[in-house]
Amino acid sequence: MSAREGTLEGGRTLTVADEATAIARVRSGEPEAYAELVRAYTGVALRAAVACGAGSDAEDVVQAAFFKAYRSLASFKDGSSFRPWLLRIVVNETRNTVRSAVRLRALAGREAMLLGAEPRIPESADPAVAAVAEERRVLLASALEELSEAQRQVVTYRYLLEMDEAETADALGWPRGTVKSRLNRALKKLSGIVPTPERDSREGGWGA
C-alpha cells in the first residue's frame, strides 16, 4: 500500500476500498462517515491549496472544497481514488478564491505554509539527512518560480504532493502523455537549479 494514501489516527492508511465504503455510507444516509475522508486528506488538501496560491486562505479553500466534494459525491465514479478527485476540486476552488491562480503568492509565505501544513520529515530521521532533504525541498520551491504555470503544477503534484503519474493526470485532468511531456520539460529547466529525480537517483535518491 502506498504511503501517499490518506493516513488516519494511529497510522492506519485509507485504501480505495476504505474510501468506497465511506462514500457508500454517505450515499446511504450516514453523512458522519464523510469525516473519515476529511481526516485522511486534510493535510494533502492544505498543501495543494497553498502550492496553488491560496496563502492565508488555504484553510477556507479546503473547507469549501470538502463541502463541494460532499455535495458532488453522487457523481463520483465508483472504483476511482477519492484523493486525486478531491485535489482537482481543491485546485479549482483555489483559483476561484484568489482569482489569479496563474501566479503563486510570495515564495517565502507559500513555502512556510507548504512545509508547515504537514510534517515532511519524521522526527526520528537523522538530523544531517533531514537537513539535506529540507534544503532540497526549499530549493525546489524557489525554482518553481522559473517555470510556466503548467510546469509548476505538474512538478508540485508529482514531487511536493508525492503523487504518481496516474494520480497527477487524474487530479489535473490531463492525459498521462501530457503529464509526462510537461514534467520532462520542467525537469530539464530545473536541472541547472536543483538536483532532478533522474540526476539525483545516481547519488542516492531525490528529496529523500
Report d(CA 177, CA 127) in Å as an integer.
38
The pLDDT of residue 174 is 92
The pLDDT of residue 188 is 87
Residue-wise pLDDT for 129-146, tens only, equals 656 666 666 676 677 778
Side chain identity at 68, as an amino acid letter?
Answer: K
pLDDT in tens, the chain (208 residues): 343 446 555 545 789 999 999 999 999 999 999 999 999 999 999 999 988 888 888 999 999 999 999 999 999 999 999 999 999 999 899 888 875 444 444 444 555 555 555 444 445 556 666 566 666 666 766 777 788 888 888 988 887 788 899 999 988 889 999 999 999 998 888 887 665 544 444 444 444 3
Paired residues of 7 in beta bridges: 13
Q: Considering the domain 9-98 in this protein, what is its CATH number?
A: 1.10.1740.10
110 touches 145 (CB < 8 A):
no
pTM: 0.65
Report d(CA 45, CA 172) in Å as an integer.
14
Alpha carbon separation from 57 to 64, 116, 167 (Å, rounded): 11, 15, 25
- Domain residue ranges of the chain, discontinuous segments joined by +: 9-98, 119-203
Q: Which residues contact 155 (CB under 8 A, 6 or more apart)?
A: 140, 144, 147, 183, 186, 187, 190
Side chain identity at 18, as an amino acid letter?
Answer: D
Task: Please give the CATH architecture assigned to the domain spanning 119-203.
Answer: Orthogonal Bundle (1.10)
Torsion 141-170-50-105 (CA) sign: positive
